[in-house]
């Protein structure tokens, strides 16, 4: 599904220069469940942003479904983010002034789906994450776990194959975290590819493959046999 060759990412120049990623080689296949772990500052989020086409590497090759991402322009990257990747953020990143329904609907609007198609799909997803009753609430009226479920529903709106989650349970209590994890397990069971950054050992245990980063390098890449 994705393949990275000698990916480097540096920030700043001179003495302020930070090498966030160094010569990363990584391949992730269809329907893998990857846990991305490592101490803070190890480059997890940077790697995730590059995988999610939110950021571009300083050097190296990144292939998404066999195509070189560096060759894509603004619009093509937007299309990949829109249709092929679902992103779940630690801090949810919901639009504060929009309702649950409107937040989940956004990716379909950018895709140009009809109002009827949007309505059907959004309600189906909200049922799935058990939030149908909250369709017309604003984020400020929701709990943390509910907001993260809205974000997950939003990530699934255009049926992307790849789901990326950056510490999805980082801001949640244990119970909400477990609910979220259950949803991820289900998604994996339905054939989605998952990459999840986490400090949560429980999630790391669920992942079938754990990639550990340290100082911008892959320290350990272990596949668990089931």
Partner 1 sequence: MVHLVRLFYRELRRQRKRMTLTIVALAWGTFSIVILLAFGEGLNRQMRKAFHGLGQGICIVGGGQTSKPYKGLGKGRSIFLKLEDIDLLQERVAGIEFLSPENDRTINTLTYGRKSITKRVIGVAPAFEELRTYYPERQSRFLNETDVEGKRRVIFLGAKLKEALFAKGEAVGKTILVNAVPFLVVGIMQDKMQNSMYNGPDVEKAAIPYTTYLAIFGDKYLSRLIYKPMDLTRSEMVKDDVVRVLAQKYKFDPEDKQAVDFWDTIEQEKITNKIFLGIKIFMGIIGGLTLIVAGVGVANIMYVSARKRTKEIGIKMALGAKKRYILAQFISEALMISFVGGAAGILFSVAAVEGVNAMALKGDVADILAHPAISLDIMVATALILSLIGFLAGFFPARRAASLNPVEALRYE
Q: Which residues bind partner 1 (CB under 8 A)?
A: 49, 52, 54-56, 74-75, 78-83, 87, 89, 93-95, 97-98, 102, 106-107, 109-111, 115, 154, 158
Minimum distance from residue 84 beta carbon to partner 1 (Å):
9
Minimum distance from residue 87 beta carbon to partner 1 (Å):
6
Phi, psi of 91 (to 5 degrees): -100, 25
Which lies closer to partner 1 via its Cβ, residue 61 or residue 93?
Answer: 93
- For residue 220, give the nearest of 208, 209, 204, 207 by alpha carbon: 209
DSSP 189: H
Minimum distance from residue 174 beta carbon to partner 1 (Å):
27
- How is the beta sheet containing 209-214 ordered, strand by strand? 85-88, 162-166, 193-197, 33-37, 209-214, 217-223
Which lies closer to partner 1 via its Cβ, residue 113 or residue 204?
Answer: 113
Which lies closer to partner 1 via its Cβ, residue 81 or residue 207?
Answer: 81
Which lies closer to partner 1 via its Cβ, residue 65 or residue 205?
Answer: 65
Minimum distance from residue 20 beta carbon to partner 1 (Å):
12
Residue 138 neighbours by CB distance under 10 Å: 16
Q: Please check whether residue 66 is in contact with residue 10, taking contact to mean a CB–CB distance below 8 angstroms.
A: no
């Amino acid at each position: 599904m994705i393949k990275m060759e000698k990916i480097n990412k540096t920030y700043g120049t001179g003495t302020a220069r930070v090498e966030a990623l160094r010569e990363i080689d990584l391949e992730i296949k269809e329907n893998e469940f990857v846990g991305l772990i490592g101490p803070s500052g190890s480059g997890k989020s940077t790697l995730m942003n590059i995988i999610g086409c939110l950021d571009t590497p300083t050097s190296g090759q990144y292939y998404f479904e066999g195509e070189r991402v560096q060759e894509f322009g603004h619009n093509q990257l937007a299309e990949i983010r829109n249709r092929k990747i679902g992103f779940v953020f630690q801090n949810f990143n919901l639009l504060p002034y929009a309702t649950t329904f409107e937040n989940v609907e956004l990716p379909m609007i950018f895709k140009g789906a009809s109002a009827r198609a949007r309505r059907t799909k959004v309600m189906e997803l909200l049922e799935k994450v058990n939030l149908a009753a909250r369709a017309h609430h604003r984020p400020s009226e929701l709990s943390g776990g509910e907001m993260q479920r809205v974000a997950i529903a939003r990530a699934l709106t255009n049926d992307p194959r790849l789901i990326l989650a950056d510490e999805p349970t980082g801001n949640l209590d244990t119970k909400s975290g477990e609910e979220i994890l259950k949803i991820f397990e289900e998604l994996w069971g339905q054939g989605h590819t998952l990459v999840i950054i986490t400090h949560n050992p429980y999630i790391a245990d669920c992942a079938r493959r754990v990639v550990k980063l340290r100082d911008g390098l892959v320290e350990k890449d272990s596949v668990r046999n089931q």
